Homo-oligomer: A and B are copies of this chain.
Amino acid sequence: MTEKTIPDIVVSRLPVYLQTLQLFQKEGKTITSSQELGEKSCISAAQVRKDLSFFGEFGKQGSGYDIGYLSSQIRSILKMDRVWDVALIGGGDLGHAIARYPGFAERGFRIKYVFDSDPSKIGQKVGSHTIVSTENMADTIKKSGIIVAMITVPSRAAQSVVDQLVQAGVKAILNYAPVLIDVPDDVRVETVSPILQLEHMTYYL
Contacts and interface: CB of A to CB of B under 8 A. Distances in A.
Contacts of A196: 15-16, 19
A201 B80 CA distance: 10
Interface residues of A, number: 53
Interface stretch (A44-52, A62-70, A187-195): A187-195
Interface string A194-205: 111111111111
Nearest to A179: B23
A78 B192 contact: no
Contacts of A205: 79, 147-148, 171-172
A120 B32 CA distance: 42
Contact of A190 (B148, B171, B197): B197
A179 to B, nearest CB: 8
Contacts of A14: 199-200, 203
A20 interface: yes
Interface of A: 11-12, 14-16, 18-20, 23, 40-41, 77-80, 84, 92-94, 96-97, 100-101, 103-104, 107, 109, 147-148, 150, 171-172, 174, 176, 178-180, 188, 190, 192-205
13 contacts: A11-B200, A14-B200, A15-B197, A78-B199, A80-B199, A94-B94, A94-B97, A96-B97, A97-B97, A109-B198, A148-B198, A148-B201, A171-B205
